[in-house]
Amino acid sequence: QSALTQPPSASGSPGQSVTISCTGTSSDVGGYNYVSWYQQHPGKAPKLMIYEVSKRPSGVPDRFSGSKSGNTASLTVSGLQAEDEADYYCSSYAGSNNFGYVFGTGTKVTVL
Amino acid sequence: EVQLVESGGGLVQPGGSLRLSCAASGFTFSSYSMNWVRQAPGKGLEWVSYISSSSSTIYYADSVKGRFTISRDNAKNSLYLQMNSLRAEDTAVYYCASGGSCSSTSCYPLLLGDYWGQGTLVTVSS
């Protein structure tokens, strides 16, 4: 399984919105509604922000939203805040041949 | 408060072995499947292995199949990863991460990473 493709970087000013794409194939993103997004600050463990394409765990601000179209999933962060500056990774269940998960290449979000 | 605490990482020579542990608290460990996920220095995340809540189902990434063994002890609320024949490319921070669970009211069979540990660093070098 190859890693899902994300842009290396994205940026926006406080209050603006930024959208990160996550492109896979019909064997992962396009085949299942099990896409998740994680936020990772330097030296810290990942934190689940979105699961099953568009669901938010309790405690995650509604500024974070997820969607999917075909083989591409997207994470949108609205109303950017300084604490949103972090690395973001998508993941998808990829069990068409063998059970497994595949992660995205990661996107560094910078708040200008 | 949910806690996952990994231990057992360290420096090991190529071809050597290491056993990682993950102690869980604050949630019903025995109701969750569990995973190991790793992150090489400066790199992205890689799923390593999965074990179902009852240990009846186990899966591995191709990169570790035949070398790593995942196990759990629900009585001790603990998850393990036995790593043999270690290679330089296994150098990474290893995280334990919760998997899916089902209750009487909801089911998230393939959820990955609602809970994460802080990670333990494994360095394979001579």
The predicted pLDDT at position B103 comes to: 82
Using the Cβ of A37 and the Cβ atoms of chain B, whether some distance falls under 8 Å is answered with no
Q: B114 contacts in A (CB within 8 Å)?
A: 48, 51, 57
Give dist(CA A61, CA A50) in Å, integer. 10
- Strand, helix or coil for residue A63: coil
Residues of A (51-90) whose Cβ lies below 8 Å from B: 51-52, 57, 89
What are the start-end ranges of the E strands in B1-126? Answer: 3-7, 10-12, 18-25, 32-39, 45-51, 58-60, 68-73, 78-83, 92-102, 107-108, 120-124
Cα–Cα distance for residue pair B104/A45, rounded to 1 Å: 30
> Does residue A48 belong to the interface with chain B, where contact is any CB pair within 8 Å?
yes
10-residue mean pLDDT profile of chain A (112 residues): values are 95 97 96 97 98 96 98 98 98 88 98 96
- Partnered with residue A20 across adjacent β-strands are A75
Instruction: Tokens for B15, please give them.
Output: 């071809």
pLDDT digits (tens, 9 = 90+) for B13-24: 999 999 999 999
Asked if B112 and A46 come within 8 Å (Cβ–Cβ), the reply is no
Asked if the C-beta of A45 comes within 8 angstroms of chain B's C-beta atoms, the answer is yes
